[in-house]
Amino acid sequence: MIDRRGHSSILNVRSFRGADFDTDHYLLVANIRENLVVSKQTSQRFGGERFNLRKLNELEVRKQYQVLFTDRFAALENLSDEEDLNRAWENIKENINFSAKENLFLHELKQHNPWIDEEYLGFLD
């Protein structure tokens, strides 16, 4: 028995009724075709720095960030029109990242426990 979603993946099925397994079930062998697809989560992972944006909920941290942010962008108002657009964007990005690093700090990812621990490995040896 297989659900409708996977029925097109089965290419060939054969049962072996005389297999001696001391059970009332029959041995079943199937050829299955599977398509592997890249997960959206893995393709959209961000390898750069992640800031702790929850700190912006604190009033004091938010005000410090706003002051630093406006001070850094005040220097950008004096840009000339001849400056390259890509360089201007790099300046803006640097200012946002610098302001966030100063006040928000980096977001620390949770450390997941390994699925098998040293105690269990000791039992296997």
Q: Encode pLDDT of 1-20 as tens digits.
A: 567 777 788 899 998 887 77
Examine residue 40 and state whether it is found in any structural domain, yes or no: no
Examine residue 61 and state whether it is found in any structural domain, yes or no: yes
Contact 91, 76 (CB under 8 A): yes
| pLDDT class of 39 with cuts at 50, 70, 90 | low
Q: Could you list the residue range(s) of the whole structural domain that residue 63 is in?
A: 49-103
Which residue would you say has higher pLDDT here, 108 or 46?
Answer: 108
| Number of domains present in the structure of the chain | 1
Q: Encode pLDDT of 19-37 as tens digits.
A: 777 777 888 899 998 887 7
Examine residue 78 and state whether it is found in any structural domain, yes or no: yes
Q: How many CB atoms lie within 10 A of CB 104?
A: 19
| pLDDT class of 113 with cuts at 50, 70, 90 | confident
Examine residue 88 and state whether it is found in any structural domain, yes or no: yes
The structure's pTM equals: 0.43
Examine residue 75 and state whether it is found in any structural domain, yes or no: yes
